[in-house]
Amino acid sequence: MAGCCDHDDIDQKALQVASFRKALWLVLLINGVMFVVEFSSAFFAGSVSLQADALDFLGDTITYAITLMVLGFPIHVRARAAMFKGLTLGLLGLWIYGQTIYFLIQGQVPTYEIMGVMGVVAFLANLVSVFLLYHFRVGDSNMQSVWLCSRNDMFGNLAIIIAASGVFMTNTGWPDFIVATIMASFAVTASYRIIKLANEELREQPLNQ
């Protein structure tokens, strides 16, 4: 009977990996398309928050591709992949901080119309991604990192929409700068959580598992 239970566990894990792989391919495609669309729009809008969000789509596309590569590998391999993604996310957050300071010094006032439209489009794209990945939000560090990225992006998109309204009402770039700072904080916080969980998995699992 114990052998049958073990076989059932293996089958269930295989089904979970297959389902995660399918969802991840769809999310990767969504992020790749959104990077191209939003990155082009960011320069026309002159928005640091929109530019940061576009590059975040690119970062997610790359990290999702890495996740697909390590699916089915031992836990220590997946944890190291999550560690890399966590570090990348942290660097992105620091980069956004730097860009915000630069745009602030330049006194950039973004085009709120483009910000608003792209914020809505990006929000809907990430909402679909979050729905596709919701079932895997409590998996290992690799799965959780994907879920956290999409969830944080969705909140960032809502903030961009609010910032667009703020730019319209104040005719200044301050709402854009504030939202960019918030997005950077989301990235740094998620980075810490992913790296911490990956470290715990590496300590608990021997290299041959």
200 belongs to a structural domain: yes
Report yes or no on 13 lying in a domain. Answer: no
Q: Note whether residue 103 is domain-resident.
A: yes
Distance CA 164, CA 115 (A): 6
For the chain, which ranges sit under pLDDT 50? 1-2, 5, 7-8, 208-209
Specify the pLDDT at position 37: 94
For residues 53 and 163, the answer to whether their CB atoms sit within 8 Å is no
Integer Rg of the chain from CA: 19
What pLDDT score was predicted for residue 83? Answer: 84
pLDDT at residue 175, as a whole number? 92
Q: What is the pLDDT of residue 116?
A: 94
* Dist. CA 36–CA 189, nearest whole Å: 26
Look at residue 95 and tell me if it is in a domain: yes
Range of the domain at 195: 22-204
Residue 11 lies inside a defined structural domain of this protein = no
- Provide the pLDDT for residue 24: 86
- Residue 14 within a domain: no
Number of domains in the chain: 1
Q: Give the per-residue pLDDT at 166.
A: 94
CB 90 within 8 A of CB 187: yes
| Distance separating alpha carbons of residues 61 and 76, to the nearest angstrom | 22
Domain membership of residue 55 (yes or no) is yes
d(CA 53, CA 125): 12
CATH of the domain at 53: 1.20.1510
For residue 107, give the H/E element and its range: none
Q: What is the pLDDT, as a whole number, of residue 14?
A: 64
Find the distance separating the first CA and the last CA of the chain, reported in whole Å.
24
Residues 6+ apart with CB under 8 A from 146: 24, 27, 63, 64, 67, 133, 136
Residue 3 lies in a domain: no
C-beta separation of 161 from 168 below 8 A = no
Angstrom CA distances, 118 to 34, 50, 163, stand at 10, 8, 12
